[in-house]
Structure formats: C-alpha cells, structure tokens
C-alpha cells in the first residue's frame, strides 16, 4: 500500500437534496473508521452549493471535507442573478471548489474567466480543484499536450499560489462516457502535466473521467496519480467506498 497522500474527490454534479445527507454520512463514517488502515488519504465531497451549509452542520466528527463545484468570477457581491461567488461558498463552510470543469467550459467558461475564478477562490481561502483536459477532436488531431499546456498557461496568473491548486486531468471525452484513457497514455499525460507546472514540489494531479470500482485497479498502478475526481459514482456511498477499497487492494 502506498504511503503517498491520495485524494478521493466526489463531484455530485446536479444531484442531491437534504435526504442525500445519508450518503455523506456513510462516507464520513467509512473514512473515520478506516483512518488507520488507509493512512494517507483525503476524502472531499463537492456537493451542490445549496447543501454545503446543511451537511456541514449535520456532520458529526467530520473526517471528510466539503467543497463546491463552481463559483462566479466576481470576487464580491454584484448584480449577477443566480450566481454564487467564492466568498459566499467559503462562508457556507466550503473548503474546496472545482473550477474549469468541462461541463462548465461547455456552457461558456473560457480560460480567461477560469483565471478570474481561480484568483477569487484563492483570495477567499478556498482550495481549488482545477480541471483541464482535451476534447476528442484534439485527441484525434494529436493535440492533447498542446491543449493541456494552453489551458494551464492561460488560466493561471503568474503570481498565483500554486500550492492552493490541485490539478485534475479530465479528458472531455472520458467524462460521463464510460471511456477511459489507456494506462500508458495516462501515465505519460500525468507526467507531462507535472512537468509543466513550475512549483518547487511536484504539483498534485488527479485523474477524472468515468472512474468506477472496476477500472480503479488499472489506475492504481500509476503511482504519479495523486487521486481521483469521481462524478456519477460518487452519488452512491457504496460505489464511492468501493472505489477507495479497490484502490488500496
């Protein structure tokens, strides 16, 4: 079993209500119970913003962290109907926020907008889970590396505190599709991302895209991966827990 810190991050997407606390509670209990077995792991559940406060209040002896799935780029209150910014998420008890998810990029998030969101999140003391990934067209055109490089370069300010950012490699074609990259391919891409981020210590890079308990074993052989961003499978406590168990098997 590895001693390196591993992240298991759930991205609930547009899912969940007050009753779904049941799922959070079970995952929290599991995490607490296995603290001494899986010594160095960190469980984060990124739930809808409407639920963060309630879940935080309900959790007894908290062993997991809660996060949000997106934030507005505007750092302070403003006339942005329907939006929630980093400061508001922090006030509700979020510790993390996903930024740059491909589902948000599809709805108009550009690297320029993402840059502002990351800046605001860090200013408001949130840890950022920053998603990058190539589209199928880019992959087929042999442009995976250049696409990743561009996303990193154009979404991060020069002076940004990189220590507050966890990168998540999420190939757009793998998210929600039940397709995943080949092991060797993934190994190379994770290395490439780490090399492209100028930090004294190697940055944390997660993999996300159709992760489930069955394909988990093929990912756990890649020691450079620092954890996983898990979408649909995190909407079930059993599936999420099975992923963690299988990782350490």
Residues belonging to the active site: 101, 170
Cβ atoms of 99 and 127 closer than 8 Å: no
Nearest approach in angstroms of CB 154 to ligand PGA is 21
Q: Is 216 left (phi over 0), alpha (psi -120 to 50) or beta?
A: alpha
- Choosing from 28, 210, 213, 237, the residue that interacts with ligand PGA (CB under 6 A) is 210
Nearest approach in angstroms of CB 14 to ligand PGA is 11
State how far the Cα of 183 lies from the Cα of 186, in Å rounded to an integer: 5
Name residues whose C-beta falls within 8 Å of residue 44's C-beta, 6 or more positions apart in sequence: 7, 8, 9, 10, 64, 65, 66, 67, 95, 96, 129
Nearest approach in angstroms of CB 61 to ligand PGA is 28
List the structure tokens of 138: 């880019």
Q: Is 209 in the site for ligand PGA (CB under 6 A)?
A: yes
Q: Is 231 in the site for ligand PGA (CB under 6 A)?
A: yes
Stretch that binds ligand PGA, among 83-91, 110-118, 226-234, 240-248 (CB under 6 A): 226-234
Q: CA-based Rg of the chain, rounded to a whole angstrom? A: 17
Q: Is 47 in the site for ligand PGA (CB under 6 A)?
A: no
Cβ atoms of 16 and 235 closer than 8 Å: yes
- Choosing from 128, 229, 243, 244, the residue that interacts with ligand PGA (CB under 6 A) is 229
Cβ atoms of 155 and 165 closer than 8 Å: no
Nearest approach in angstroms of CB 200 to ligand PGA is 28
List the structure tokens of 92: 């509700």
Stretch that binds ligand PGA, among 24-32, 89-97, 144-152, 204-212 (CB under 6 A): 204-212
Q: Is 120 in the site for ligand PGA (CB under 6 A)?
A: no
Of residues 136-175, those binding ligand PGA (CB under 6 A):
170, 175
Q: Is 11 in the site for ligand PGA (CB under 6 A)?
A: yes
Question: For ligand PGA, which is the closer residue by CB, 87 or 165?
Answer: 165
CA-nearest of 60, 55, 56, 1 to 31 is 60
Cβ atoms of 42 and 7 closer than 8 Å: yes
Nearest approach in angstroms of CB 12 to ligand PGA is 9
Q: Is 67 in the site for ligand PGA (CB under 6 A)?
A: no
Q: Which residues are at the interface with ligand PGA (CB under 6 A)?
A: 11, 170, 175-176, 208-211, 229-233
């Amino acid at each position: 079993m590895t001693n390196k810190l591993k992240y298991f991050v759930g991205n609930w997407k547009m899912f969940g209500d007050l009753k779904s606390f049941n799922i959070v509670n079970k995952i929290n209990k599991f995490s607490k119970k296995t603290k001494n077995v899986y010594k160095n792991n960190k469980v984060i559940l990124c739930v809808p913003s409407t639920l963060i406060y309630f879940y935080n209040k309900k959790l007894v002896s908290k062993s997991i962290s809660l996060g949000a799935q997106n934030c507005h780029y505007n750092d302070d209150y403003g006339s942005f109907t329907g939006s929630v910014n980093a400061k508001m998420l922090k006030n509700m008890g979020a510790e993390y926020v996903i930024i740059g998810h491909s589902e948000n990029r599809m709805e108009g998030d550009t690297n320029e907008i993402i840059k502002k969101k990351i800046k605001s999140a860090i200013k408001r003391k949130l840890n950022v889970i920053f998603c990058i990934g190539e589209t199928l067209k880019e992959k087929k055109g042999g442009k995976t590396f250049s696409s990743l490089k561009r996303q990193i370069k154009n979404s991060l300010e020069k002076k940004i505190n990189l220590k507050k950012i966890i990168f998540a490699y999420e190939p757009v074609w793998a998210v929600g599709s039940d397709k995943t990259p080949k092991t060797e391919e993934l190994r190379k891409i994770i290395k490439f991302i780490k090399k492209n981020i100028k930090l004294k210590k190697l940055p944390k890079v997660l993999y996300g895209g159709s992760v489930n308990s069955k394909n988990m074993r093929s990912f756990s052989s890649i020691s450079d991966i620092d954890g996983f961003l898990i979408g649909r499978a995190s909407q079930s406590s059993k599936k999420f827990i099975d992923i963690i168990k299988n990782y350490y098997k």
